[in-house]
């Protein structure tokens, strides 16, 4: 596929790959990010022993996966897809249809979920020609079109249409939880790789300036499409895991715009373009969401709304930037 003069990951002249690995581990920032990923997996792997509400843990993980997907799309390439939930739903339905109609096992089903969302991403990739809010709105329309497609009575033979999905044939609370932990691990590792690889550098270059990036020899269309596909695959994996855990759902549940909005807010709150930002953003905001949702639901909207306003006004670059500047001052 790749022409001789078009590589996704170029080589720095005169550096062997072994040197690069050594170099990477000398990089404190990489070690820190890798540690974050490991700690995260550890926390969730043993999460069920300190938190009985496993669905809360699953929702946390799924939102972390989605927030990282937004991070890849917006943080690394500058595209903010409001219809991001379309990939989540595509993944959920890839899982549901493959297991309940084609009777594949749960693990091939998860793969099918990822494949479906990647295919959707490739079909939608011409949208990347749009910029800014035009792109955001077009992606939203695409997600709406997807839910209508899935719930359409003509599609009932495949998706079970408006009657929704029921994955009782593969229902397995233990395995689906572990798979979600593994999925979160894969997604976080992918973001760590993106942040520290030449490919990630190329993405950030494109985000900063397309023309300069192109004149640096970066195949802008190919690189950003690849990032778009990675981002969609993350959402698809999250959707497939969620579908397996929740097992009974309607099209509207897995294509709900609220899911997109939450993932975007969590990612922005924590800080995009970082590994730790979307994780912290999700833990804090989804934690607060659940805490006030359970204790003082009557003030929920008020508190949550105020919080978001405060973030936008005072921490526009996210918690990670706030943390960095505080530590920056302390070390001076």
Partner 1 sequence: MKIKTKLHVTLVTGAVLAAACGSSSKTTTATTVASSATSAAAGAAAGPAPAAITVGTLYAGTGSFAVSSLPEYEGIKFWVHEVDASGGAYVKAYNKKIPIKLVSYNDQSSTSTAGTLYTQLITQNHVNILMSDFGSVLTAPAVTIAKENKQLLFDVSGTGTTFFQASNNDPYIVLTSLPVSSIWPQPAVAFMKSVGIKNVAIIYGANDFDQAQANTYKQGLAAEGINVSFFQSVPTATTSYTTLIQEVAAKKPDAFLELGYEANDIAFLKQLHSSGTKFPYVFTVFPGQNHSQVEAAVGASGLAYTYTYGAPPALVHNSPSVGLGLSSFTTAFESYASKTHINFEDIAGYNAGLVVQQALANAASLSQTDLRAGVLSQSGKFSTLIGPFSMNAQGAQTGFPLPVAQLLPASSGSATKVTIVWPKSKATGTAVYPAP
Partner 2 sequence: MIPQEQSSTAVAAGPASTAVRLLEVRSVSVMFGTFMALDDVSVNLDGGRALGLVGPNGSGKTTLINVVTGLVAAKRGKVLFDREDVSGRAPHRLAHLGINRTFQIPKPFTGLTVRQNVEVAARYGKGRRSVEEILALTRLDRVGSRSSEELTAAEQKKLDLARALSTAPRLLCVDELGAGLSVSELDEVALMLRDVSERWGIALLVVEHLMGFLERVTEDVVVLNAGQVIFEGSLVDALRQPNVIQVFLGG
29 is a site residue for partner 1 (CB under 8 A): yes
Q: What's the closest the beta carbon of residue 99 comes to partner 1, in angstroms?
A: 13
How near is the Cβ of 9 to partner 2 at its closest, in Å?
A: 8
Give the CA dihedral 320, 324, 330, 332, nearest 10 degrees: -170
DSSP symbol at 103: -
Find the binder of partner 1 among 55, 137, 158, 306 (CB under 8 A). Answer: 55
Work out which of 25, 102, 107, 163 binds partner 1, going by CB under 8 A.
Answer: 163
- Burial annotation 91-130 (CB, 10 A radius, 16+ → b, else e): bbbbbbbbbbeeebebeebbbbbbbbbbebbeebbebbee
Rule CB under 8 A: say whether 198 interacts with partner 2.
Answer: yes
Question: Shortest CA distance to 58 belongs to which of 217, 239, 199, 192?
Answer: 239
Per CB under 8 A, does 157 bind partner 1? no
Q: What are the structure tokens assigned to 293, written together?
A: 């949702």
Q: Which is nearer to partner 2, 6 or 51 (CB)?
A: 6
Cα–Cα distance measured from residue 164 to residue 117, given in angstroms and rounded to the nearest whole number: 18
Assess 171 for contact with partner 1 (CB under 8 A): yes
Q: Which of residues 247-306 bind partner 1 (CB under 8 A)?
A: 247-250, 252-253, 256, 258-259, 276, 279-280, 283-284, 287, 289-291, 293-295, 297-298, 300-301
DSSP assignment string, 169-196: TT--HHHHHHHHHHHHHHHHHHHHHHHH
Calpha distance 236→97 (Å, rounded): 14
Structure tokens at 312: 């936008």
Q: Applying CB under 8 A, which residues contact partner 1? A: 27-29, 31-33, 35-36, 39-40, 43, 50-56, 59-60, 148, 151-153, 160-166, 168-169, 171, 173, 245-250, 252-253, 256, 258-259, 276, 279-280, 283-284, 287, 289-291, 293-295, 297-298, 300-301, 319-320, 323-324, 327-328, 331
Q: Applying CB under 8 A, which residues contact partner 2? A: 5-7, 10-14, 198, 201-202, 204-205, 207-209, 211-221, 273
């Amino acid at each position: 596929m790749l022409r001789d003069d078009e590589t996704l990951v170029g080589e720095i002249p005169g550096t062997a790959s072994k040197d690069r690995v050594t170099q990477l581990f000398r990089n404190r920032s990489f070690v820190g990010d890798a540690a974050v990923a490991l700690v995260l997996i550890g926390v969730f792997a043993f999460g069920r022993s300190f938190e009985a509400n496993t669905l809360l843990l699953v929702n946390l993980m799924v939102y972390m996966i989605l927030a990282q997907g937004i991070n890849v799309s917006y943080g690394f390439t500058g595209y903010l897809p409001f219809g991001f939930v379309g990939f989540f739903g595509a993944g959920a339905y890839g899982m549901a249809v493959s297991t309940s109609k084609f009777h594949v096992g749960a693990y091939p089903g998860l793969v099918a979920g990822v494949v479906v969302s990647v295919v959707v991403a490739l079909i939608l990739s011409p949208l990347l020609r749009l910029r800014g809010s035009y792109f955001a709105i077009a992606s939203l329309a695409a997600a709406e079109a997807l839910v209508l497609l899935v719930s359409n009575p003509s599609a009932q033979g495949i998706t079970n249409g408006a009657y929704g999905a029921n994955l009782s044939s593969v229902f397995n609370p233990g395995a689906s939880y572990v798979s979600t932990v593994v999925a979160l691990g894969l997604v976080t590792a992918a973001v760590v790789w993106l942040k520290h690889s030449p490919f990630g550098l190329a993405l950030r270059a494109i985000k900063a300036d397309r023309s300069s990036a192109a004149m640096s020899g970066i195949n802008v269309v190919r690189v950003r499409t690849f990032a778009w596909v990675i981002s969609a695959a993350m959402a698809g994996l999250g959707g497939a895991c969620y579908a397996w855990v929740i097992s009974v759902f309607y099209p509207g549940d897995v294509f709900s715009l609220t899911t997109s909005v939450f993932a975007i807010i969590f990612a922005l709150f924590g800080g995009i373009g970082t590994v730790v930002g979307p994780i912290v953003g999700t833990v804090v905001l989804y934690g607060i969401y659940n805490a006030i949702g359970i204790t003082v639901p009557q003030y929920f909207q008020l508190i949550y709304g105020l919080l978001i306003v405060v973030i936008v006004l005072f921490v526009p670059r996210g918690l990670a930037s706030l943390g960095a500047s505080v530590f920056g001052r302390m070390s001076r």
